[in-house]
Amino acid sequence: MTARSLSKGANLPVDVPDVRVELRWAEGAGGPDIDASALLLAQDGRVRDDRDFVFYNQPLHASGAVRHLGKRREAGVWTDTVQVDLRSLEGAITRVVLCASADGGTFGQVTGLTLRLLGGDGSSEVARFEMQADAETAFIAGELYLREGRWKFRAVGQGYASGLAGVATDFGITVDDEPEQAVTPPSRPAATPPHRPAVTPSAAASPAVTPRPTTPPVSAPPAPAPPTTAPPSGPRLTKGEERLPVDMRKRLSLRKEQVAVSLSKRGAVGISARVVLVLDASGSMAFLYSRGVVADVVERMAAVAAELDDDGEMQAWTFASDAARLPDLRLGELPEWLRLHVRVGEISLFRRSKKPRKGMEPGQVDMRSVGIQNEEQKAIAQVRSYVRENPAAAPTLVLFFSDGGVYRDAAIEQELRAAVEEPIFWQFVGLGRSNYGVLERFDTLPGRRVDNVGFFSVDDISTLPDQELYDRLLSEFPSWITAAGRAGIL
């Protein structure tokens, strides 16, 4: 394909299967920093949800078709690039809008602003579009669009004085202003304004949210309060249960008995285990968090730890786009733990700073660092690493709750197959009707010495009686202990 110089509004067919869209501008003292981004639009001209926005804080689309490659500087010229694999775009996507935003100034301060359309390997130039600007702080530079089954490119050059937030609003994203969150990181090549807004697609069920740092900081959990004396007429309580409110203590006591009944049915009386809790915090879970369903699940799982774990504690993780370890859940601190740590992920799309959110309490994870997408394999990997680094005499039972939307089947399968030789049993619980991918099929997957995975799903876990829940939750764990013992894993 011969390279063309395009004027505003011009278009041309795209005859290569994947392209790179490169923004170029001359380095200048005091000028703004420029960012490239892409919006994936459906037939109605709007994003389906926040996953259809690809930019510096969310650099890879879930389909893998669009990727933000990032900035480079060479010989006084800056570039920021987005790659689009047209073959991998989902069928619902009919346009990819290619945007530019100015951080810390206007495009009128930028020299040589140019869009280059390149072949996928970046070596051949397909088209070039030189843009003129004044007071704009954002541009729709161009767009890839599907017309009669063929992809084409159009040079747009539409400016916005309202920044990337103005562009985002036009395509179905709601701007949530958070001025107190922004700071200027010292490593920026150009000045950074004092604030970037948080942006959330209007279709999302959760509040505005952000893909996170690789390893979010987690403060050490507070030391347990000294135990108080149990009432003389009541049973002797251990593991901090005596510090619980009376109604919660009664529920825990009854549920412990129901856990014991479930184990007795399977000839597993007296077994012990280290219990680990993993909670899906993805955006689709927001309704279950807001209704208190997740908090109720955690309280019900505390009874499993109280019955199986010698110290009654649970290690806990939360996950969405990334995984983060939560402070250990101690029985005596259950009400406060529920208040502080049962929280859905967030995405603050323009957040660059790693400064904790204002108002966070000690030990809390900044849920902007957790995000909202489904990356189960990251939580699995972190739990596996913890078990390797902290060996225990008892096996580990992982209680893993998710509402589905699983799409990393290969990565999840790789993690769980590798974990076959480890003293861990993975019990997955699906919350609602959804796609659970490889988790649902794991019982039938060949080539494993022992079956180290259990799975079941329920339409509404809040209506499932405790005894039935524990029966289903613990149905495969005792048989795995036997099989793992015979295989020399335990």
Nearest to 351 by CA among 207, 215, 177, 218: 177
3-class secondary-structure state, position 65: coil
Nearest to 143 by CA among 41, 46, 2: 41
CA dist 474 and 478 (Å) reads 7
Q: What pLDDT does 234 receive?
A: 36
Q: Largest Cα–Cα distance of the chain, in whole Å?
A: 89
**Pairing, β 114-119 against β 18-26:** antiparallel
Chain-centroid distance, C-alpha 487 = 35
Do residues 126 and 151 make contact, with C-beta atoms less than 8 angstroms apart?
Answer: no
3-class secondary-structure state, position 386: helix
- Please, what's the b/e burial string for 225-242 (b: 16 or more CB within 10 A of its CB; e: otherwise)? eeeeeeeeeeeebebbbb
Run of H or E residues at 384: helix 376-389
Do residues 12 and 142 make contact, with C-beta atoms less than 8 angstroms apart?
Answer: no
Residue 25, token pair as written in the block: 């501008």
Give start and end residues of each alpha helix (H) in 65-212: 163-170
Nearest to 394 by CA among 278, 276, 300: 276
Do residues 209 and 283 make contact, with C-beta atoms less than 8 angstroms apart?
Answer: yes
3-class secondary-structure state, position 307: helix
Query: What does the pLDDT look like over 300-350, one tens digit per residue?
Result: 999 999 999 877 789 999 999 999 999 999 999 999 999 999 999 987 665
CA dist 102 and 121 (Å) reads 27
The dihedral built from the CA positions of residue 168, 170, 176 and 178, taken in this order, carries a sign that is positive
DSSP state of 448: -
Query: What's the predicted TM-score (pTM) here?
Result: 0.58
CA dist 275 and 72 (Å) reads 46
Nearest to 115 by CA among 95, 132, 134, 93: 132
CA dist 20 and 68 (Å) reads 10
For 180, counting Cβ atoms within 10 Å of its Cβ (0-12 exposed, 13-18 middle, 19+ buried), the class is exposed
Given a cut of 70, the residues of the chain with pLDDT beneath it are 1-3, 29, 174-238, 348-356, 443
Q: What pLDDT does 260 receive?
A: 93
